[in-house]
Structures are given as C-alpha cells and as structure tokens.
Amino acid sequence: MTATTALSAPSAPARPAAGRSPAPAARRRAALHWIAVHTVAIAAALFFILPFVFVFLTSVMSDDQALSGDLWPTEWNWSNYADVFNTPGFLDWWRNSLLYAGLGTLFTVCSSIPVAYALAKFRFRGRRTAMIMVISTMMLPPQVIVIPMYLVWAQQLHLSGSLWPLIIPMAFGDAYSIFLLRQFLLTIPREYLESAKVDGSGELGTLLRIVVPMAKPGIAAVALFQFFYCWNDYFGPQIYAAQNPGAWTLSYGLESFKSAHSVNWNLTMAATLLVMAPVIIVFFFAQKAFVEGVTLTGVKG
C-alpha cells in the first residue's frame, strides 16, 4: 500500500538534457526488446490467423483431399462455393438470417434509445432500482425463462416454426443495449439538453434532434452488436425454428449442413466461411464502432 502511494506521487523533475541521446548499450537493449516483443507477437498472431487459413485452404480442396489432412490444395475447386449455394435451403437460411438480424437490430435500437435516455438523464425515484433490474436481466441465463416463453409462443400464439418469437420481443428493449447506450448518453453534457429545452424543444424533440445525432457512435456500436448477436444466435432458432427447416438461419443450419454432408469437410469449410463472411466484411467497414462498443462496456462502465 505504501509503495502504491509513493509511486503515485507527481512525476520527478526533468532529467538532464544529456540523457536524451542513448548510449550504444541502451540502444542495443531497445533493439533486443523490439525483437523479443515482435517474436512473441508473431507467434500469437499465428495462433489467431492460422485457423482461418486452414479453413480457407480446405474449402477449395477436392472431396478426397479434404479428408487427407493435407495442408495445401493440389487443385483449386472454386466450384465448392457454388455447390454450397446450390444446396437446397442454403439461400433460405441467408434470407432468414438477414430478416432476424435486420429486424431484430432495428427493433432493439428504436426501443432501447428512449429507455436509455430516461435512465441516463431523467431524475426520478427508483432510477437506481431500474438500473439494477436492467443489469440483472443481463445476468439471467436465457435457459431460465425459455420454457414458459416457448409454451406461450407455441401453444397460445401458434408462432413456433418461425423467427417471430425471437424478433418481436426486441421491440420491447434489450437490457444489454439499454445498458451500453445509457453509459454512452451519460457522457453527453446536460447543458446541451437544457439549452435545447430553453429553445422550446420538448423532451421527445430533444431526444430526436440533439441526443440521437450526438450519440451516433454509441448507437452504431449497439446496432452492430445486436446484428451480430442475432446473426450468431443458435439457441433461439433451435428453440423456435428447429421443426421448420424453412425458418432456419445460417447459424442454425450450418451444423445440420455438416451432418448432411457427413464426409464433405471441404463443402463444410466453404459454408463455414460463408457464414463468417458478412461479420468480417462489416468489421472492416466499422472497426471503430466495434472497438468503441467493446471498450465502452468494460472501461467506461
């Protein structure tokens, strides 16, 4: 403890100017440090990248070679990708994934913004309780509530075999998105909101004209996370869409795709890459929003 306080003392007086040009020994030490760090970094990068490389190389192999454990394809069968697309149902899975992820994201963003705004900027009794309730919803394993919900959707509303039981609830706010947006909205200075109100803007007008434009990066991060949550979801489609292959999503269909082509690892790897592709393409266009979203969750929380 004493060490910590001693160390947090303001920084020492400036060092003499002579110390600026490093001695050869110091320069050698810096070079060795550089080499050591980059060697470790390259080794680590291989662990993260090689799986993608192997998956890709296998995806263009012939049926037989994919079973051989070979690393490099002897011939490049680009037609494997066409075969995947021509598999019955595969295009339906794309459509369903886009529907689930697209509508799900739209609903979540529209319903979560006003809630997050109220939690961030309104002063009311029970605000803290409301936040604790939001966070405990985030903590709840989905398996705890799925059985009664399934019974309602299947037996009372007759909507099982479709993705609606997954999409409709998103029009009623999502705890994780509300939490993330609220953290973001807390950073908007109250003065902006007050000056808008002085100009005669109502609460809803302030939200739409001032807060939403200012919160664009936060909204973008929430939208991306929700899109990928839906795109990657397996449990939800398994519960509600399993009995109707016409309602399967890519994430759910992929595993049964493998089962149906039990020996065709090459086609399976091509399909695997096709399921990953949208995520990775969007990442390269929206890196900043992603990283902002992730850091927001952990650090500014």
CB under 8 Å to 167, separation ≥6 — which residues?
99, 100, 103, 104, 107
**DSSP H or E stretch at residue 69:** none
| CB closer to other proteins, 79 vs 244 | 244
Q: Which of 173, 196, 219, 270 binds other proteins (CB under 8 A)?
A: 173
Nearer to other proteins, 41 or 82 (CB): 41
Q: Which of 124, 116, 137 is nearest to 182 (CA)?
A: 116
Distances from the Cα of 211 to the Cα of 39, 161, 198, angstroms: 46, 39, 15
CA dist 138 and 174 (Å) reads: 9
Note whether 58 binds other proteins by CB under 8 A.
yes
Cβ proximity to other proteins, 37 vs 91, nearer residue: 37
Q: Which of 29, 38, 95, 209 binds other proteins (CB under 8 A)?
A: 38
Residues 85-114 that bind other proteins (CB under 8 A): 111-112, 114
Binding to other proteins (CB under 8 A) within 201-220 occurs at 203
Tell me how many degrees the CA angle 253-254-257 measures, rounded to the nearest 5: 85
C-beta of 62 vs 297, nearer to other proteins: 297
Among 26, 82, 151, 157, binds other proteins (CB under 8 A): 151
Stretch that binds other proteins, among 74-82, 84-92, 98-106, 124-132 (CB under 8 A): 124-132
How far, in Å, CA of 241 to CA of 163, rounded? Answer: 6
What's 11's DSSP letter? P
Which stretch, 18-26, 83-91, 148-156, 208-216, contacts other proteins (CB under 8 A)?
148-156
By CB under 8 A, is residue 60 in contact with other proteins?
A: no
User: In angstroms, what is the minimal distance from the CB of 123 to other proteins?
Assistant: 9
Nearer to other proteins, 91 or 132 (CB): 132
Which of 215, 239, 267, 289 contacts other proteins by CB under 8 A?
A: 239
Task: Please tell me whether residue 22 binds other proteins under the rule CB under 8 A.
Answer: no
Answer yes or no whether residue 68 interacts with other proteins by CB under 8 A: yes
Q: Which of 32, 76, 85, 255 binds other proteins (CB under 8 A)?
A: 255
State yes or no: residue 166 binds other proteins (CB under 8 A): no
For residues 121 and 214, which CB has a smaller minimum distance to other proteins in the complex? Answer: 121
Total chain residues near other proteins (CB under 8 A): 110
Which residue of 115, 167, 196, 267 would you call a contact of other proteins, by CB under 8 A?
115
